[in-house]
């Protein structure tokens, strides 16, 4: 490589939410940024979350007040920036006075010590105290506060067993997790970053205080080198592997790999609120309205030590979740009610906690100069705090590189999100007026995915036929072309399970794959 080859400021390894969030923030501050992701964007943990912007009510039991406060504040910051892919949601926590728990949280240990008659039980006053803190720690401006529900007379009680007569209702937010990653990547590109999906970092070596990095195109096998002043290791579950194998660091920091599995069932209730169920083992489980016709249930916390094994929802986890929610539901669910499952591995910082459930969800950032050039390693984190994590990362980066600009991302709209939080319905109405062939469901899906860019996706179409090949479930060639040209999609799986969840619908997946393969080949021929 020529000594005069251009040197970029940052090479970010990992195309999940943390990597793309850091790339966006850094590019917006004027740094030259390249991001390499060995698979599709959001192909691992960042598309396998419970899909919530939430403070983490249960983290209060572990005294993680700083993390909860930061996450609560972030909910509304993020909601304003992406009102198309995130929206408020009310959560219903059914309460039964005599329900007992087996829990080893610091809170339960204190209760057992000072009030032994409360052992194994979350009393109503403790739940109310937690919800009061939840309402006040983050300084709410948009989201409504907690209230008490009468389940005997309200629609929230209809799906539940009669023994649940009372509930507490509080606020959090929904987010389309994998779309959030892609929008961060797109905005990073708009600000000058280079995003390289399906590009693996083979090795990185320090030469004169500069990183020389070998990159491999996963599809073609071609390799090339680049140079960077600093490496950011945002590899998620692979952060430890990258740290020791690709970068060659002797750091002793470790991560704890925890598998979280989810099941998707037929729709279990008619309202649009989420349930927060408490288990007798001290854990919690969400049951969330999902993609109009389904219910999302999760998550589990199990150790996952072998990254060579793809995370899957095991029969034991499936059975655990079914039995968990059936303790609450009037009409129990069965295996045949499950339409899809998914699992992801959370890369939590190893803080020595006694169980996967108790392991911290906070993030830890470590600067490492041991290889002769600076590297920043990202451990842990949660989707709600990704933007603040990126700001913290830029503070660390600023100790090694010149970063002329300060924080800027708070409240800055994501692509398609330049409209008010309560502006979704007017956008749907306008879209149907401009494109009369759209029904409400189709228009709503497009606005929820693309916001103000939905018109750009549909272009000058006057009829459905103008949108090109129809793959089913309202997916047309016009939308696929947008996803390929603007959102880094290359395969049918990218489109059906990450850029959207249309894989749950009747889509002609093989026809879609053929179309995308032929379009890529044509683009290559004319390049």
- CA 351 vs CA 135, 255, 385: distances in Å: 28, 8, 19
pLDDT surpassing 80 at residue 382: yes
At residue 410, the pLDDT reads 96
Stretch among 106-120, 203-217, 303-317, 462-476 having the lowest mean pLDDT? 106-120
pLDDT surpassing 50 at residue 119: no
At residue 280, the pLDDT reads 83
Residues 360-387, mean pLDDT to the nearest whole number: 91
Query: Where residue 364 falls among pLDDT bands split at 50, 70, 90?
Result: very high
At residue 354, the pLDDT reads 52
44, 207 Cβ separation under 8 angstroms: no
pLDDT surpassing 50 at residue 180: yes
Q: Which two tokens stand for residue 77?
A: 């910051």
At residue 308, the pLDDT reads 87
pLDDT surpassing 70 at residue 111: no
Q: What would the pLDDT profile of 461-493 be if each residue is shown by its tens digit?
A: 999 999 999 999 999 999 999 999 999 999 999
Of 299 and 358, the structure prediction assigns the larger pLDDT to: 299
pLDDT surpassing 50 at residue 1: no
8, 27 Cβ separation under 8 angstroms: no
Separation of alpha carbons 445 and 85, rounded Å: 10
pLDDT surpassing 50 at residue 235: yes
Of 122 and 13, the structure prediction assigns the larger pLDDT to: 13
At residue 117, the pLDDT reads 35
Residues 217-241, mean pLDDT to the nearest whole number: 96
Separation of alpha carbons 152 and 131, rounded Å: 22
pLDDT surpassing 50 at residue 94: yes
Instruction: Please enumerate in sequence order all residues whose Cβ is within 8 A of that of 471, keeping only pairs 6 or more positions apart, or say none.
Output: 477, 480, 507, 508, 511, 512, 515
At residue 81, the pLDDT reads 97
Q: What would the pLDDT profile of 32-88 be if each residue is shown by its tens digit?
A: 999 999 999 999 999 999 999 998 887 887 778 888 899 999 999 999 999 999 999
The correct answer on CATH 1.10.8.870 for the domain covering 424-526 is: yes
At residue 3, the pLDDT reads 43
Q: Which two tokens stand for residue 67?
A: 């993390």
87-173+257-349 folds as D-Amino Acid Oxidase; Chain A, domain 2 (3.30.9)
Of 192 and 360, the structure prediction assigns the larger pLDDT to: 192
Please name the CATH architecture into which domain 7-45+178-254+361-397 falls: 3-Layer(bba) Sandwich (3.50)
At residue 5, the pLDDT reads 62
Q: Which residues pair with 182 in a beta bridge?
A: none
Q: How far does the chain reach from its first CA to its final CA, in angstroms?
A: 26
All structural domains of the chain with their residue ranges: 7-45+178-254+361-397, 87-173+257-349, 424-526
The three-point CA angle 79-85-89 to 5° equals 60
3-class SS at 144?
coil
**Are 87-173+257-349 and 424-526 in the same CATH fold?**
no
pLDDT surpassing 80 at residue 213: yes
What share of the chain in percent tops pLDDT 70?
92
Q: What would the pLDDT profile of 405-424 be if each residue is shown by its tens digit?
A: 999 999 899 999 999 999 99
Stretch among 158-172, 241-255, 355-369 having the lowest mean pLDDT? 355-369
At residue 118, the pLDDT reads 38
At residue 160, the pLDDT reads 97
For the beta carbon of residue 4, count every other beta carbon within 10 angstroms: 6
Q: Which of 453, 487, 410 is nearest to 25 (CA)?
A: 410
State how beta strands 33-36 and 7-13 pair: parallel
**What CA dihedral angle connects 94, 95, 98 and 102, to 10 degrees?**
70
Query: Where residue 108 falls among pLDDT bands split at 50, 70, 90?
Result: low
- CA 333 vs CA 41, 91, 181, 320, 325: distances in Å: 33, 20, 33, 12, 8
Residues 79-105, mean pLDDT to the nearest whole number: 84
Average pLDDT, the chain: 91
pLDDT surpassing 80 at residue 503: yes
What share of the chain in percent tops pLDDT 90?
77
């Amino acid at each position: 490589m020529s000594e005069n080859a251009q040197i970029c400021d940052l090479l970010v390894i990992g195309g999940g939410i943390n990597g793309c969030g850091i790339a966006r923030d850094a590019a917006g501050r004027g740094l030259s940024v390249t991001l390499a992701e060995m698979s599709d964007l959001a192909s691992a943990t960042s598309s396998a979350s419970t899909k919530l912007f939430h403070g983490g009510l249960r983290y209060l039991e572990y005294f993680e007040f700083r993390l909860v406060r930061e996450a609560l504040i972030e909910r509304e910051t993020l909601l304003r920036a992406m009102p198309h892919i995130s929206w408020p949601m009310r959560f219903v926590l059914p309460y039964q006075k005599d329900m007992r728990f087996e829990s080893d949280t610091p809170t339960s240990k204190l209760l057992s010590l000072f009030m032994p008659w409360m052992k194994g039980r979350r009393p109503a006053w403790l739940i109310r105290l937690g919800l009061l803190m939840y309402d006040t720690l983050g300084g709410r401006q948009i989201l409504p506060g907690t209230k008490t529900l009468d389940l005997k007379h309200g629609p929230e009680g209809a799906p539940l067993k009669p023994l649940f007569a009372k509930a507490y209702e509080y606020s959090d937010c929904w987010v389309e997790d994998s779309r959030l990653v892609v929008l961060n990547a797109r905005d990073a590109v708009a600000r000058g970053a280079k995003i390289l999906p399906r590009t693996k970092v083979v090795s990185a070596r320090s030469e004169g205080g500069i990183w020389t990095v070998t990159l491999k195109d996963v599809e073609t096998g071609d390799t090339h080198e680049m140079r960077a002043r600093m490496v950011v290791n945002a590899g998620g579950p692979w952060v430890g592997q990258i740290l020791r194998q690709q970068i060659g660091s002797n750091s002793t920091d470790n991560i704890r790999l925890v598998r979280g599995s989810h099941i998707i069932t037929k729709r279990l209730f008619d309202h649009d609120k989420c349930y927060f169920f408490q288990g007798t083992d001290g854990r919690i489980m969400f049951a969330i309205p999902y993609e109009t016709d389904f219910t999302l249930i999760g998550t589990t916390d199990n150790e996952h030590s072998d990254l060579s094994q793809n995370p899957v929802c095991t029969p034991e986890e499936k059975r655990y979740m079914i039995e968990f929610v059936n303790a609450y539901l009037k009409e129990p669910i069965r295996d045949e009610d499950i339409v899809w499952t998914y699992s992801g591995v959370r890369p939590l910082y190893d803080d020595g906690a006694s169980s996967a459930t108790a392991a911290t969800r906070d993030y830890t950032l470590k600067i490492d100069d041991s290889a002769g050039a600076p590297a920043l390693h990202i451990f842990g984190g949660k989707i709600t705090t990704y933007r603040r994590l990126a700001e913290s990362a830029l503070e660390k980066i600023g100790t090694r590189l010149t970063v002329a600009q300060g924080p800027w991302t708070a409240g800055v709209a994501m692509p398609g999100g330049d409209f008010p939080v309560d502006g979704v319905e007017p956008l749907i109405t306008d879209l149907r007026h401009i494109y009369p062939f759209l029904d409400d469901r189709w228009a709503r899906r497009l606005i929820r995915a693309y916001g103000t860019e939905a018109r750009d996706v549909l272009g000058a179409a006057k009829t459905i036929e103008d949108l090109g090949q129809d793959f089913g479930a309202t997916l047309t060639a016009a939308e696929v072309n947008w996803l390929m040209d603007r959102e880094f999609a290359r395969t049918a799986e990218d489109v059906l399970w990450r850029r959207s969840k249309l894989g749950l619908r009747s889509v002609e997946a093989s026809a879609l794959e053929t179309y995308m393969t032929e379009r890529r080949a044509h683009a290559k021929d004319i390049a």
